[in-house]
Structure 1
């Protein structure tokens, strides 16, 4: 069996930390997993959080939305700030903020305190996440090593959604909901300690931060994500939804105008000039819209229709998580041999097949065979469809723009997930309101309608995957 040797650049000066590629890789992937877990780890704990802190039914959604809104809105700014002020510095600061906010959230005595802690977590995550990806691409410069670590990063990001549900179920069932936040503290401290000693930092570039771009980018993404959240809770005809989405579109157009004229743009638009990279960015937006909603809807189905506990619900997603992790081990070998197109095409087809199976759910559907088959297809599909995208986007990005490219990638991923969930929750609500029968039958009607809409989005993802050129990555 052949192996790929991880390589890192030599130290820039005698004052730089000693670069140990293996430790640097573990440090960066651990931070990424910690940040991604917080997107889903709270899901299975929400009922107990509501009871403990006396949340209202509508207010409870902000436990998730406060993190998503701030995290998605600040990713571009966090990536570009790392390019200009030092990626290691932003990575460390973001990890510290995230860790302290996790501790504060676990200690929260009131609902408002917990929401404020989740906002702080989003700020820390937006500082650390894009610089995690940028540090990977600038630390591992040899082509084979870069493909391997980017595939690992992608797989860690995708599998983190499923692992979050499993871990959340375990901690909530055995300890308490507070433990899903406390668990971040030891991991955060270890990441900071290792990063201080072993992570290199690319030289900073003497340039002014594109403040007009930062303001319009953050405001546009924030307005769009808030609009999507409002649509999911209040419907597309709600005034707040319409105003937020309209403002987001106007601010997005203003951002593009600013970036075309800026001397040092927050997001260099020429990153989208490459055909493969532009298609990968598109699928990084569409893929989460279709695939990541599975975790949200199936969690409700398993607990409310099938009567599973939080722990059993987490274990139900184990096949998906295991397959995602298995596939990331294969991507570094498959991508140089076949190129991105066959992998993304097969992956999106598998994801589509899994979603179509989920449209067959009934109140009597057992875990075997329908749900297990869908979990297997979704695990294979998400792993194959998403893992090559990070490689395609980041493999040829100039080092000076790695933070901006990584920030754009994660912004599209988070915004796509938020938009997808808003659309599918709206479809769910419309179908549920027109359904009749028991509460379980109504929920199943809404859930299967949502999965049918997700399958339509998966078809769009498949069509974009067909546009990838038939080229192979460098050996």
Structure 2
């Protein structure tokens, strides 16, 4: 029994955040996974139009570097200006970036458009979480079902992205992955403005006061560090740019030192040191999403370059990943409630290991299409279990005041992982992925999954004390 408004309510009848709230917020939160996954099948077409395969990788990297910076900043801005205002402002930026990208005359213009798009899509998940937790506290509801709704929608769209993108690109050209954002933006704006999202305001007295709290130097050092490190890693396959390595190392040292001392850090190093459950979860998310995006960027390119598939055929071949990912997210949510985070993450990581071995061992150039579909189905399992386990832990170990920034940091790990996946693909497979490159990518995923599995088994930050807090969050 749970006490709500002075009366005892059976656990099965606990009041949850209603779908009219979580569903409205999910309409905008799906823009990030939608754009992240659709571009996987558009890369070949973009490269064909602009005549540059190496430059195209920076279209992806620019979006993810921007979102890596924007996510925690957006969480802080939501607390200052109001989560709903920042959420809707992000929708406007998505529309602007999409229109600019559709009209791009060259790769440089397209990279700039994806920077604007990246800023926009980074605002939604952190502020959606803030609004859900605010609603839950205001009306004494449980946020568990709402969190599952966001994760299921995000995972579903991410998994369906290659299929949706393949149909759009094959029918209307690569620009269609941008114009499809516009009706989603309009729908989300209407839904969020009409929904009761608890407390929609903020505590900032002025824009100047809010900007004064922005850690500009920390953001600059973060950009220098991650960009220079990416350039070093991408260059390892051909002519290593060792001269940038000292820049990355010094930048990282200065970044950590500055974030440790400053009063309003871009990334709260103190919180990460103090909250081991949070820092451990963010680390796992970084590693997991690196593997996740290797699959979502690598396999569609291989299907087009080696198997000679069209964008539509490649997208449809990825469809089992989508279907299984949705089911595994729902099953993973139930497993989390019954057995906790450790078992949820172990199941997801074991499936990741099996998927990596399958990628590395199946003779894909001559394999029947049914075999490829079965491999895709296996790869859908870790997406759901790992994401619901890690995001539920972030929600469980943070307060309502912290959750927006914490989810922003989680999204930052997602985007850094996406950047690292581009590097992994460049190093293991090059610009055009062949059989050998995909083999090496599979073994990388398998080896990474082994390390994750061992870490989860022996982690002290995943346990009943951490997991129990989710039952009290928002009540």
Q: Provide TM-score, normalisation by structure 1.
A: 0.85
In the TM superposition, 1:281-296 aligns within 5 A as 281-296=282-297
Matches within 5 A, 1:60-71: 60-71=56-67
Gaps of 5+ in 2: 1-10
1:407-426 map, 5 Å: 407-426=408-427
User: Are residue 172 (structure 1) and residue 173 (structure 2) matched?
Assistant: no
Matched, 1:90 2:105: no
Change (3 A) 1:448 1:51: closer
Matches of 2:386 and 2:256 in 1, distance apart?
Answer: 28
**Equivalents in 2 of 1:76, 1:414: separation in Å?**
12
* Match 1:79 to one of 63, 75, 79: 75
1:15 matched residue in structure 2: none
CA distance in 1, matches of 2:140, 2:391: 14
Alignment of 1:308-327 (within 5 A): 308-327=309-328
Are 1:278 and 2:279 counterparts?
yes
- Alpha-carbon distance in 2 for matches of 1:216, 1:455: 38
**Pick aligned residue for 1:35 from 28, 32, 42:** 32
1:257 maps to 257
Q: Is the 8 A contact 1:63 1:118 kept in 2?
A: yes
Tell which deviates more after alignment, 262-271 or 122-131.
Answer: 262-271
Partners in 1 of 2:331 and 2:12 — Cα distance? 12
Q: CA deviation at 1:411?
A: 0.5
Q: 1:247 to 1:406 in 2, by over 3 A?
A: farther
- Partners of 1:38 and 1:446 lie apart in 2 by 25
Aligned-partner SS, 2:362: coil
Q: Give the alignment of 1:440-451 within 5 angstroms.
A: 443-451=434-442
State the alpha-carbon separation in 2 of the partners of residues 124 and 47 from structure 1: 25
- Counterpart of 2:8 in structure 1 is none
SS, match of residue 41 in structure 1: helix
Q: Distance in 2 between matches of 1:381 and 1:191?
A: 28
- 1:220-369 matches, cutoff 5 A: 220-231=221-232, 233-235=234-236, 243=244, 246-268=246-268, 269-362=270-363, 363-369=365-371
Q: CA deviation at 1:4?
A: 6.8
Hey, what does 2:155 align to over in structure 1?
Answer: 158
State the 1:206 CA deviation: 5.0
Q: Tell me by how many angstroms 1:186 deviates.
A: 0.9
1:17 corresponds to: none
Q: Distance in 1 between matches of 2:368 and 2:221?
A: 43
Aligned counterpart, 1:18: none
Separation in 1, partners of 2:83, 2:247: 31
Give 1:308 shift.
1.6
Q: Deviations over 1:310-345 (max 9, x none)?
A: 111111111111111112223332212101001101
Deviations 1:401-439 (A, max 9, x none): 22211111111111122124313421334xx9xxxxxx9
Q: Match of 2:443?
A: 452
Q: Give 1:393's aligned residue.
A: 394
> What is the alpha-carbon distance in structure 2 between the residues aligned to residue 138 and residue 263 of structure 1?
25
User: 2:140 & 2:291 partners in 1: Cα distance?
Assistant: 31
Q: Would you say how many aligned residue pairs link Structure 1 and Structure 2?
A: 449
> Paired residue for 2:189, among 192, 211, 236?
192
Relative to 1, partners in 2 of residues 1:250 and 1:23: Cα closer, same or farther, differing over 3 Å? farther
Aligned to 1:48: 45
Contact in 1 for aligned 2:159/2:319 (Cα 8 Å): yes
Residue of structure 1 equivalent to 2:180: 183
TM-score, length of structure 2 as denominator length: 0.85
8 Å CA contact 1:49, 1:177 repeated in 2? yes
Q: Which moved more, 1:351-360 or 1:418-427?
A: 418-427
Give matches, 1:454-469, under 5 Å.
454-466=445-457, 467=459, 468-469=461-462
Q: How far off its partner does 1:457 sit? A: 1.6
In the alignment, the residues of structure 2 paired with residue 133 and residue 331 of structure 1 have an alpha-carbon distance, to the nearest angstrom, of 19
Counterpart position of 1:16: none
Per-residue deviation, 1:458: 1.6
- 8 Å Cα contact 2:394/2:403 also seen in 1: no
Tell me whether 65-74 or 164-173 shows the greater mean CA deviation: 65-74
Give the secondary-structure state (helix, strand or coil) at the position aligned to 1:42: helix
Q: In the superposition, relative to structure 1, how do residues 76 and 55 fare at CA in structure 2: closer, same or farther (>3 Å)?
A: farther
User: Cα gap change, 1:25/1:272 in structure 2, threshold over 3 Å: closer, same or farther?
Assistant: farther
> Could you say what secondary structure the match of 1:84 adopts?
helix
1:129/1:254 CA distance change after superposition, 3 Å: farther
- Counterparts of 1:209 and 1:250, CA distance in 2: 29
1-structure distance, mates of 2:61, 2:266: 25
Match of residue 20 from structure 2: 23
* Paired residue secondary structure (1:355): helix
Indicate conservation of the 8 Å contact 2:163/2:312, yes or no: yes
C-alpha distance in structure 2 between counterparts of 1:110 and 1:297, whole Å = 24
Distance in structure 2 (CA, Å) of the matches to 1:179 and 1:109: 16
The answer to whether the Cα contact below 8 Å between 1:82 and 1:89 also exists between their aligned partners in 2 is: yes
1:99 aligns with 2:95: yes
SS of structure 2 residue aligned to 1:397: coil
